[in-house]
Structure 1
Amino acid sequence: MVLPTPSRDRVYSIDVLRGIVMILMALDHVRDFFHTGAMTSDPLDPETTHTALYLTRWVTHFCAPIFVFLSGLSVFLMNGRKTKAEISKFLLTRGLWLIVVEVTIVSLGLSFNPLFSLFFLQVIWAIGVSFVLLSLLVFLPWGAILALGAAITLSHNILDFYEAQPGFQPGLLWEFAHKRTFALHEVFPGHRAIVLYPFLPWVGVMMMGYGCGRLFAADISSRMRQSVLVTVGLGMIGLFFLLRAVNVYGDPLRWEAWHTLSQTLFSFFNVQKYPPSLLYTCATIGPGLLALAALEHARNGFTAVCNVYGSVPFFYYVLHFYLIHGLTVIAFFASGYNASQIVDPQTPFLFRPADFGFSLPVVYLVWIGVVAALYFPCKRFAAYKRNRRKWWLSYV
């Protein structure tokens, strides 16, 4: 079957939305490294959090699911420029490459531990596995991939009931796929791995993104695309509120009535990210689709800046970890810590003791500085990619 050709190589609204979530993502990671209590408390716990901290964490929920969704959408846009076999080969090789990057370059940026005592399997790993699986599925019609992704997203929380049974112990493969336990798995002596992003729900999100890519084919008008995006987006938001109110299915974290309205709202909107529940997906992808529709014809200074970050997401992602952690090292010594405190057994990050940190306003100042510092490197690299046709650029 011949698919309609995408209307253009890059879609401005997609890059802008991707750039927005990349900017927000840096806020969450700056908070992890710079906020006092980030290593010892949960910013979404209604009992201990406050509104500013809760919103600082919650708004970053949009990052991973929208990023994965747009990754799938971007794969669809390869149709018409590459054959199915070429797309499959690219997804397989890039997926494996991303897994290698996760356990080497990204893990080092997170930990600053040159011994690689701990490997982190996070969003890059999940995207890598999703690419590998999608490389086997791209030969199917886009509608079948969309339906399969929706089925995974709608049904995987059935496993919550099985996992909630007394004495349930997930095996390693189960943990890879669906259940995060924070267990440290020994890869070889002295080197362990922790699964933070079980891949099954993320595969579903990527498949739905791939199916949504059909809306950006040349035979779909802008008005029709926006109409579908708004309709589906509002539908997902409505499904979130319906299922959350019923409080039976869609998320293993049940909400409760607390002493105050704000605490009750905190509980209501506290949905599971690891792995992303159906409600988490609806609460993030739904607004993301509305944003994608709203950005269709947006052209201003803000979107121009976001477009820069969104056009080189991998470059930005890797670089921002090293910049944030490098600033942490400076703040570590400036705060009076010494070399004997570089390693803290309570945290996996060197130069980031559990009792280290600053107030939330400082976190925001550092975040703004990090994003601003990365603007020109990203802009120059984006220009380099536009003007070069080197094979390796598609992997970064």
Structure 2
Amino acid sequence: MSNERKKRIKSIDMLRGLVMVIMALDHVRDYFHYDAFFFDPSDITKTNVALFWTRFVTHFCAPVFVFLAGTSAFFVGQRRDKKSLASWLLKRGVWLVVAELTIIKLAWMFKLDYTTTLLQVIWVLGISMIFLAGFIYLPKKLTIVVSVLVILGHNLLDSYAPTGAVASGVWTFLHVFNIVSFGDFQIFVGYPMIPWIFVMPLGYYFGELYKSSVSQEYRLKKLWQLGLGLTLLFFVLRFINVYGDPYFWAPQETLGLTIASFFNITKYPPSLMYLLITIGPSILFLAVAEKWQGAFTQKFVTIGRVPMFFYIVHIYVIHLFAVFAALATGFSFSDMVIDLWITLQPQLQGYGFGLGIVYLIWIVLTIALYPICSWYDAYKTSNRDKWWLSYI
């Protein structure tokens, strides 16, 4: 076993692997669930409790990706000087943006028509790394204070709408879930930069808790304090119901839907409520999982060691299996060639399966992907001399 492998933090890899597997559930739902082509699972007026929570649990994925990417950058920085780390962040950030626009776009759409481009989580990971390359040169306290203030206050900008095509386009890239058009071309900004680019620096300095000079007792204490503090802040602010998310919760016809309304927080862009209820419990998970051992949890560790590989492969596999499912149920291959997003394809209304089948497909695909991830993890560990492996 290599020294680098020994130095990896198992609980962090475990959390990353767990959210990767949960993420796959959301994408299986997109490509296989009958109702996905008719309404959003977070629409309280149309959803049901099981479907809502199937969607809600996947909210943990993007914040954990971005936050822990910052933590991983901190670990890389322990082996490099600041200039070398900044260079690494810039190169990796550019690569992720390019990957979003090419191999990942192809996986989602099964075509490379650039009249429509999607900017999703890999794009925002890349752009956040590019910004982090600059943030690491700023004083630590300044970076933390600015990042916290932006995350706490960015919902004050929810109603801001600049006039003019240029200003509106720039603001969309910064803080609006929308489409920017350039003649016949359009860019769907699914993940605007604010507040994501300020989440990663907090993850970066979070990595200090895992330095060898920090005792486990102290680290666990801080993990519990941070995790509980963020989670409790969510419940307090959400109960008050005056700030932190563009949409307030309200009593519904049933208790189950009322609870769903309470937890129905905004992801695009991520509201303060969204970040509190995802990052807080994730930090609590790190506290609980630090001493976990066993064959089952090790499987999540393995997947968490190769997150980019899993991300790319799982989209291609899900989309390919969806093609087979469509063909088997009377639809054509062209119906699965996507223009913008799978659930927005009107020709697919009537295609799909019940939620139970969606879960079954997710379990089978996850089990099938594990041996591939295990092989790639072993291959990557045994071939550290191949520089390109660090990018996948």
TM over 0.5: yes
What SS does the corresponding residue of 1:120 show, helix, strand or coil? strand
Q: 8 Å contact 2:109–2:337 — kept in the other structure?
A: no
Q: 8 Å contact 2:104–2:312 — kept in the other structure?
A: yes
- Structure 1 spans left out of the alignment, 5+ residues: 1-5
2:329 corresponding residue in structure 1: 335
Q: Displacement, 1:344?
A: 7.5
Q: Which of 44, 48, 51 does residue 49 from structure 2 map onto?
A: 51
What SS does the corresponding residue of 2:388 show, helix, strand or coil? helix
1:231 corresponding residue in structure 2: 225
Q: Distance in 1 between matches of 2:284 and 2:237?
A: 20
Q: Displacement, 1:369?
A: 1.5
What SS does the corresponding residue of 2:266 show, helix, strand or coil? coil
Opposite residue 12 of structure 1, the aligned amino acid is K
Q: 8 Å contact 1:95–1:132 — kept in the other structure?
A: yes
Q: Displacement, 1:260?
A: 2.0
| TM-score, length basis structure 2 | 0.93
Q: Displacement, 1:348?
A: 5.0
Q: Which of 125, 128, 131 does residue 126 from structure 2 map onto?
A: 128
Q: 8 Å contact 1:7–1:216 — kept in the other structure?
A: no
Q: Distance in 2 between matches of 1:196 and 1:124?
A: 11
Q: Distance in 1 between matches of 2:340 and 2:84?
A: 46
- Structure 2 spans left out of the alignment, 5+ residues: none
Q: Displacement, 1:192?
A: 2.9
What SS does the corresponding residue of 1:218 show, helix, strand or coil? coil
What SS does the corresponding residue of 2:77 show, helix, strand or coil? coil
1:194 corresponding residue in structure 2: 188
1:289 corresponding residue in structure 2: 283
* CA distance 1:50–1:351, change in 2 (3 Å): closer
Aligned residues: 387
Moved segments of 4+, more than 6 Å:
165-170, 349-352
Q: Distance in 2 between matches of 1:25 and 1:81?
A: 31
1:23-79 Cα offsets, whole Å, 9 max, x none, are: 000000000000012132011122211111111000101111011111011111122
Q: Displacement, 1:340?
A: 6.3
Q: 8 Å contact 1:17–1:310 — kept in the other structure?
A: yes
| TM-score, length basis structure 1 | 0.92
Q: Which of 372, 375, 381 does residue 377 from structure 1 map onto?
A: 372
1:82 corresponding residue in structure 2: 80
* CA distance 1:304–1:180, change in 2 (3 Å): same
Q: Distance in 1 between matches of 2:5 and 2:389?
A: 22
Pair 1:32-2:26 in alignment: no
* CA distance 1:25–1:81, change in 2 (3 Å): same
What SS does the corresponding residue of 1:171 show, helix, strand or coil? helix
Q: Which of 249, 255, 276 does residue 249 from structure 2 map onto?
A: 255
1:316-350 Cα offsets, whole Å, 9 max, x none, are: 00010000000011001001123564568795578
**Greater per-residue helix proportion:** 2
* CA distance 1:347–1:159, change in 2 (3 Å): closer
Moved more, 319-328 or 365-374: 365-374
Q: Distance in 2 between matches of 1:251 and 1:169?
A: 27
Q: Displacement, 1:115?
A: 2.9
Q: 8 Å contact 2:109–2:338 — kept in the other structure?
A: no
Opposite residue 231 of structure 1, the aligned amino acid is Q
Q: Distance in 2 between matches of 1:278 and 1:73?
A: 20
What SS does the corresponding residue of 1:337 show, helix, strand or coil? coil
* CA distance 1:145–1:244, change in 2 (3 Å): same
2:348 corresponding residue in structure 1: 353
1:314 corresponding residue in structure 2: 308
C-alpha RMSD of matched pairs (Å): 2.4
Pair 1:364-2:364 in alignment: no
1:296-334 Cα offsets, whole Å, 9 max, x none, are: 111112210001110000000001000000001100100
Q: 8 Å contact 2:93–2:130 — kept in the other structure?
A: yes
Q: Which of 197, 208, 227 does residue 202 from structure 2 map onto?
A: 208
What SS does the corresponding residue of 2:36 show, helix, strand or coil? coil
Q: 8 Å contact 1:26–1:320 — kept in the other structure?
A: yes
Q: Displacement, 1:264?
A: 1.5
Q: 8 Å contact 1:108–1:116 — kept in the other structure?
A: no
Q: Distance in 1 between matches of 2:299 and 2:375?
A: 13
1:3 corresponding residue in structure 2: none
Opposite residue 376 of structure 2, the aligned amino acid is F
Opposite residue 116 of structure 2, the aligned amino acid is L
What SS does the corresponding residue of 1:146 show, helix, strand or coil? helix
Pair 1:179-2:176 in alignment: yes
Moved more, 97-106 or 140-149: 140-149
* CA distance 1:43–1:273, change in 2 (3 Å): same
Pair 1:391-2:378 in alignment: no
Q: Distance in 1 between matches of 2:272 and 2:72?
A: 22
Q: 8 Å contact 2:115–2:186 — kept in the other structure?
A: yes
Q: 8 Å contact 2:25–2:359 — kept in the other structure?
A: yes
1:298 corresponding residue in structure 2: 292
What SS does the corresponding residue of 1:77 show, helix, strand or coil? helix
Q: 8 Å contact 2:323–2:336 — kept in the other structure?
A: no
Q: 8 Å contact 1:71–1:209 — kept in the other structure?
A: yes
Moved more, 77-86 or 351-360: 351-360
Opposite residue 313 of structure 1, the aligned amino acid is P
Q: Distance in 2 between matches of 1:230 and 1:40?
A: 41
* CA distance 1:158–1:8, change in 2 (3 Å): farther
Q: 8 Å contact 2:109–2:340 — kept in the other structure?
A: no
